[in-house]
Amino acid sequence: MNEVMDEVVLEPNYDATKRILALSGIQPELCYQCRKCTSGCPLTFAMDYYPDQIVRYLLLGLEDKVLSSATIWVCSSCETCTTRCPNDIDIAGLMDYLKQQAHAKGLVDPRQNLTYAFHKAFLEDIARRGRVFETGLMQRYMLSSGAWKAKLADGTLWDEIRLGVALWSRGRLPLRPRGVRHLAEVQRLFAKPTQCREKKDTSASL
């Protein structure tokens, strides 16, 4: 018996791509689906949607589907896709933009996304001190992601602790964090755009 399935007709919806152009300067609408980005990407084996599919979904207005995908976090920003694109679409930059939007909308859970958990812990460390403190970084990553539970269960946690002790004994893993001389300059990079504009307006009026 043949099952009759309802067909869903999707029409182009450029609301998402217009926002992307306004906020990032990237134009997904230039894509004509040659798939060179996907054929050159070294990480498609770990993606739920290929890069060309991500762009296609955006052109169809399926932004929530894209922001909830694993692909945008699997992307390593190697820029192979950007280099191969015949229409010069910054696809790697697009993936970065989508990560930012997923974070801003609260669609990512550190305990469900280890890449996001590490990314978040890394940037928080930079914002706090201006440089990474490896010992503290790994502790925060393990706790925020819950990865320590899986490593404890399979025994690899003890291997990593032994490795950490070995690195510390050779002076390769400091126990005390160090900052940078001009921390305020680094922290300004993490300021929200609205805050930056307010500072510019204030200085201009003085």
Give the residue from 69, 61, 54 showing the smallest Cα distance to 18.
61
Range of 94-98, 131-135, 148-152, 202-206 with top mean pLDDT: 94-98
Instruction: List the structure tokens of 95.
Output: 């993936």
Percent of the chain with pLDDT over 70: 89
Buried b (16+ CB within 10 A) or exposed e, 119-132: bbbeeebbebbbee
Instruction: Enumerate the H helices of 130-155 as residue ranges.
Output: 134-145, 147-154
Which pLDDT score is estimated for 5?
Answer: 52
Q: Domain map of the chain by residue range?
A: 15-104, 114-169
Work out the average pLDDT over 137-156. Answer: 86
**For residue 84, what are the CA distances in angstroms to 133, 175, 191?**
36, 44, 33
**DSSP for residue 4:** P
Give the position of tokens 């993606």. Answer: 47
CA distance 96 to 3: 41
Instruction: List the structure tokens of 197.
Output: 């504009």
Angle, in degrees to the nearest 10, between helices 51-59 and 91-104:
60
- The amino acid that residue 23 corresponds to is L
- CB 118, CB 141: distance < 8 Å: yes
pLDDT, one tens digit per residue, over 174-193 is 888 888 888 998 888 888 65
Which pLDDT score is estimated for 203?
Answer: 41
pLDDT, one tens digit per residue, over 165-177 is 898 888 888 888 8
The answer on pLDDT for 205 being more than 60 is: no
pLDDT, one tens digit per residue, over 60-111 is 999 999 999 999 999 999 999 999 999 999 999 999 999 989 988 888 877 7
Range of 14-18, 109-113, 117-121 with top mean pLDDT: 14-18
**DSSP for residue 173:** S
- The amino acid that residue 119 corresponds to is H
